[in-house]
Amino acid sequence: MKTIYIFLSFFIGCAWASEDHREHDAHVHGHAEMTLALSGKELELELNSPAMNLVGFEYQPQSNDDRKKVKDAVTFLNRPVNWIELDPAADCSAEKAHTQSPLIAKESHATDTHEHEHEHEANHEQHSDFLINVHYRCSNPDKITSVNLKGLFQQFPALQEIDTQWLTERRQSASELDAKHPVIRLQ
């Protein structure tokens, strides 16, 4: 597992240094960034998206409806079979999926109406992201020719585009995915 982290760290450094790297604002609604690394039998994906794309807001959940949206998004994202489709011949199984966001960790429980209004206004100005890590172990990693993310675009229509950077032991590249083109071609 250490190998894949070294591999991924090297790849990210090279990708940022590349002349072809397209500069984006760190936080753009409708857009997300994903890195993917395949090393040996390990496949690691990391998706970083503004919360707006996944739950429709970026403030701390204020209502039961807000909390339900966050919970539903986390439940969906923590089940990679919902949104990541790999070649069945590769025989991959998700060993770990973890979603992080400040919206998950904290919830406002203000009781004073005036205090609640100020928190709500202040929270609308902040930017919150979701960071999703998925780790697979694959019996036949050479059989992975593509990674299909159509389930992600179907579940979260506010997500318009994903800038991807990926690396295998044979190749590295970058691509831009959207609902009409949700597939990363690794070969």
Q: What is the pLDDT of residue 112?
A: 36
For 19-58, the DSSP string reads TTPPP--S--TTEEEEEEEEETTEEEEEEEEEHHHHHS--
DSSP assigned state of 178: B
Q: What is the pLDDT of residue 7?
A: 52
Q: What is the pLDDT of residue 127?
A: 79
pTM of this structure: 0.78
Strand ranges inside 69-180, DSSP E: 85-86, 92-100, 129-138, 146-148, 161-167, 172-177
Q: Is the pLDDT of residue 133 over 80?
A: yes
Instruction: Work out whether the CA dihedral 13, 139, 1, 128 comes out positive or negative.
Output: positive
- For residues 73 and 54, what is the distance between their CA atoms, to the nearest angstrom? 7
Tens digit of each residue's pLDDT (9 = 90 or more) over 61-96: 999 999 999 999 999 999 999 999 999 999 999 999
Mean local confidence (pLDDT), 151-169: 97
**pLDDT higher for 187 or 180?**
180
Q: What is the pLDDT of residue 19?
A: 38
Rounded to 5 degrees, φ, ψ at 122 are -65, -40
- For residues 163 and 93, what is the distance between their CA atoms, to the nearest angstrom? 24
Q: Is the pLDDT of residue 171 over 80?
A: yes
Tens digit of each residue's pLDDT (9 = 90 or more) over 94-126: 999 999 999 995 544 333 333 344 444 444 457
Residue type, 111: T
- Indicate the average pLDDT of the chain: 83
